[in-house]
Amino acid sequence: QVQLVESGGGLVQAGGSLRLSCAASGRTFSPYALAWFRQAPGKEREFVVGIARSSGRTYYRDSVKDRFTISRDNAKNTVDLQMSSLKPEDTGVYFCAATLISPSDWGRSGIYSYWGQGTQVTVSS
């Protein structure tokens, strides 16, 4: 089994930056494709960014692709999300997710077998 724990969330003003981290225990990250999702109050969980397990290719939703950067360190079993130029619309609970599937549709939450409990990100105007 894999357990995922997110950290790094907090309150930040619009235009600011945060760095989120997700740490895994149990099995190594290396076989897994990894992703970050977020969920705003009253909204469905939405895909933010993913990173492939072997190629390291990254996939960003359009609204964050010039502001967010995902990275992984398989030796440390961590995946990070560097967020810059934050906007109020980025507010939500951010979740780390992992799957052994090579995603063709990264935004389909049902393909991810493991989820963290989330970390709150709040961006004020």
Q: What is the pLDDT of residues 31-85, one digit of tens each?
A: 999 999 999 999 999 999 999 998 889 999 999 999 999 999 988 999 999 999 9
Percent of the chain with pLDDT over 70: 100
Mean pLDDT of 89-104: 95
Please say whether the beta carbons of 121 and 9 come within 8 A: yes
Query: Residue 27's pLDDT is what?
Result: 79
Average model confidence (pLDDT) across the chain: 95
CA 33 to each of CA 22, 95, 103, 105: distance values in angstroms, whole numbers, following the listed order? 13, 14, 8, 12
Residue 89 backbone dihedrals phi, psi, to 5 degrees: -70, -10
Q: Is the dihedral of CA 98, 103, 107, 113 positive or negative?
A: negative
